[in-house]
Amino acid sequence: MFVTFEGIEGTGKTTQIKKAMDYLASKGRECVLTLEPGGSRLGQHLRSILLHMESRDLTGETELFLYLADRAQHVATVVCPALDKGKCVISDRFADSTVVYQGYGRGLDPKLLHQLNEVAVAGTWPDLTILLDLDPEIGLRRALARNAAECKSREEGRFEAEAMDFHKRIREGYLTWAGLHHDRFRVVDAAQTPDEVFAQIKPHLDAFLEK
């Protein structure tokens, strides 16, 4: 079982992923938690480039290929080995982030991005994608406060530094992409309390566990 969590900055993915991990563990499922960028050894180096404020001069194409390199290595060395062992993999972001951020956000062709993702993931697509949906103004406010509290505003603040119009495009891009891939996407209202948000997610996890 391969589950991914997607959404704009500040939607509470970390909190909901922890709740999902605990819930699946209570059901006897061994889980591996990972993330993008940075899920592999190589990815950790790429993450430090992609999210750092010093990298604000990256072109859209350069950004794209760094993410694809991160993903190809992540799938080959982390995701597939865990799935082959029968483990449940939960990833904080995956290929959909590239289509939305570099496509709807940066203006690259979403169809081309999906084709490039096909190469990077080598056929390994999520069984279930949870999209945490939230007003960008609320999400960005949360994300900026989190980065400040964790002293990560410089090391991991590049996307939070984007203009509000960018974040609005990302939200709309996610909703559009989810509509095009409704077979695996489940959209959840992330404006509620953490427990209320997870109450929306739990039935979708149960549906896959029953399979």
What's the pLDDT score for residue 134?
96
149 Cα distance to chain centroid: 22
Q: Tens of pLDDT along 78-129?
A: 999 999 999 999 999 999 999 999 999 999 999 999 999 999 999 999 999 9
The whole-number average pLDDT for the span 131-145 is 91
pTM, entire model: 0.92
Alpha-carbon gap, residue 207 to 211, rounded angstroms: 7
Q: Which residues of 86-119 are buried (b: 16+ CB within 10 A; e: fewer)?
A: ebbbbbbbbbbbbbbbbbbbbebebeebbebbee
Residue 201: the pLDDT is 98
What's the chain's average pLDDT?
Answer: 93
Among 109-113, 143-147, 167-171, name the one with the lowest average pLDDT. 143-147
Does pLDDT of 35 surpass 80? yes
Res 156: pLDDT: 66
Mean pLDDT, residues 169-190: 97
139 or 199: whose pLDDT is higher?
Answer: 199
Res 147: pLDDT: 75
CA 134 distance to own-chain centroid: 14
Residue ranges in 32-109 assigned as alpha helix (H): 41-50, 60-74, 80-84, 95-98
User: So what's the pLDDT on residue 74?
Assistant: 98
Interior/surface letters 9-36, b for 16+ CB within 10 angstroms, e for the rest: bbbbbeebbebbbebbeeeeeebbebbb
pLDDT of residue 116: 96
What pLDDT band is residue 160 in, cutting at 50, 70 and 90? confident
pLDDT at 180 exceeding the cut of 70: yes
* Span 34-62, average pLDDT: 93
100 close to 159: Cβ distance less than 8 angstroms: no
- Please determine, for residue 188, whether its predicted confidence score (pLDDT) is greater than 90: yes
Domains, the chain, ordered by start: 6-192 (3.40.50.300)
Q: Measured in Å, how far apart are the chain's first and last C-alpha atoms? A: 10
What mean pLDDT comes out for the span 167-194?
Answer: 96
